Amino acid sequence: MISKDSKIFIAGHRGMVGSAIWNLLSENGYSNLIGRKSQDIDLRNQLEVEYFFASERPNVVINAAAKVGGIMANKTFAYQFLMDNMRIQNNLIEYSLDYACEKFIFLGSSCIYPKLSPQPIKESYLLSSELEPTNEGYALAKISGVKACEYIRNQFGRDFSSLMPTNLYGPRDNFDLDTSHVLPAMITKFHEAKMDNHSKVVLWGSGRPKREFLHVEDLAKAVMFALENKLPENLYNIGTGEDISIVELANMIQEVVGHVGEIEWDSSKPDGTPRKLLDVSKMAEVGWQAQIKLKDGIKSTYDWYLENAYSLKKVKII
């Protein structure tokens, strides 16, 4: 039985997702949280991870550690995205099983689903057709983690579950233009253009694809819900159930930032999947729903960006 003093290891506790989970659990009285910096443990290293489990014996493991990036990073470094993520999750899953953890929560991404899935995407559509080529390596790694948790659940009766969030954003996001996802990249581009006398902003693709965005604090609440309840199935989508075109997203961010210059769409760059909206009815049925509206979330994220911009790479602010 998970209690407030259960030993909970949050892998990736300093990242955007892990820190949001850590903060929420701390605020709700969980007093025995464990985190390790990457300098202290390389989660890709099997021996280091086994030593950690043998020494600490956590009751719960939340896997918020992953190698992540945007379209260009995924496409350019497909091998690293596949292998690094498989090594991280394989070590965490294997030793959570071997060292009898009471609960394991695996975090993935909606990119595990086929490129041309019917919309909205149900959990049952997994492996029903081809993946989006630009992030196939990352998706394959996460699919293997989902299946490992499913097999452990079925074969050993252990409480291993997988939560697949849609596109995440929020405090501590990555705003580096070379490696970030679309929403934080737009915040950086519009802010820098605003500081440059409202110069033109060039954005990738046609702007026609539609995407769903979830604030990271809503994901943290979904993780706490999974921690405090035994989910009846292995795989659950985590999202808002609402999507928006990239053009609409750009206009919203432009308004929040206060940029009044021109937007140019570079149609020579890839769009990725045409639409990616999750069916979140399964999670709603067990009792969880997202709460933060997109525009409110963008405003709070931009506020965080402004307050912390001096420590972020490639960000200019006056």
Q: What is the pLDDT of residue 315?
A: 42
Q: What is the pLDDT of residue 1?
A: 79
Map out the domains of the chain as residue ranges: 8-311
Which residues in the chain come in under a pLDDT of 50? 310, 313-318
Q: What is the pLDDT of residue 311?
A: 52
Question: CATH homologous superfamily of domain 8-311?
Answer: NAD(P)-binding Rossmann-like Domain (3.40.50.720)
Q: What is the pLDDT of residue 68?
A: 84
Cβ neighbours around 104 below 10 Å, total? 24
Q: What is the pLDDT of residue 186?
A: 97
Enumerate the β-bridge partners of residue 204. Answer: 266
Residues 6 or more apart in contact with residue 69 via CB below 8 angstroms: 77, 81, 174, 179, 180, 181
Structure pTM? 0.93
**Residues contributing to the annotated binding site for substrate:** 189, 204, 211, 271
Q: What is the pLDDT of residue 98?
A: 98
Q: And the tokens for 166?
A: 């849609």
Q: What is the pLDDT of residue 72?
A: 76
Candidate list 30, 95, 113, 138, residue with the active-site label: 138
- Would residue 138 show up in a list of annotated catalytic residues for this protein? yes
Count CA within 13 A, CB hemisphere, residue 134. Answer: 12
